[in-house]
A = this chain, B = another copy of it.
């Protein structure tokens, strides 16, 4: 029997990401997608059983993958503010290098598709900065405020930073990112 081609699956994901980035979910037509990937529509249905399944599966995979990557080597022996900044930079770079994935996830979160994502996946996530915030509070360096709110604020500033970089209003150099980080840091520091 013919053997399934992982490459093909990845191509499907890649192209879906591209399309969603350009035109949103409504722009994802099964026929167009198939054509871009170079397979027939029916083959698409061999890999995903419906359009919904396609999007939900990709989202699930991306979210899971993203969760794994995050905190990595921040556990180094650094002063708190630097840990924070390391993480900040990590996410800036990640967001820019994976802008389409980020966009995809962002879109999914606001769409009805999000309800279809396995609860396990949704929960496992977002532990990203929480531990760090706790540490900062313990050291008296950041304000004693509900973690979720802190995360929201930092997240908003970070996303905006990425936007500014993408729209070329600021540059991805030390100087500019330092300024942007200072906004975030000043916002939450004690």
**Interface on A for B, CB 8 Å cutoff?**
1, 23-26, 42, 111-112, 145, 148-149, 152-153, 155-157, 159-160, 163-164, 169-170, 179, 183-184, 186-189
Contact of A186 among B164, B179, B186 (CB under 8 A): B186
* Copies of this chain per assembly: 4
Q: Among A160, A170, A183, A186, which residue has the most Cβ atoms of chain B within 10 A?
A: A183
In the complex, 14 of the A-B residue pairs with CB atoms within 8 angstroms, ordered by the A residue number, are A23-B112, A25-B26, A148-B169, A149-B164, A149-B179, A153-B157, A153-B183, A155-B160, A156-B159, A157-B157, A183-B187, A184-B187, A186-B189, A187-B187
Chain A interface mostly? helix
Contact of A163 among B152, B164, B179, B188 (CB under 8 A): B152
Q: A1-B42, A25-B26, A183-B187 are in contact. List 15 more A-B contacts (CB 8 A).
A: A23-B112, A24-B111, A26-B26, A145-B179, A148-B169, A149-B164, A149-B179, A152-B164, A155-B160, A156-B156, A156-B159, A157-B157, A183-B188, A186-B187, A187-B187
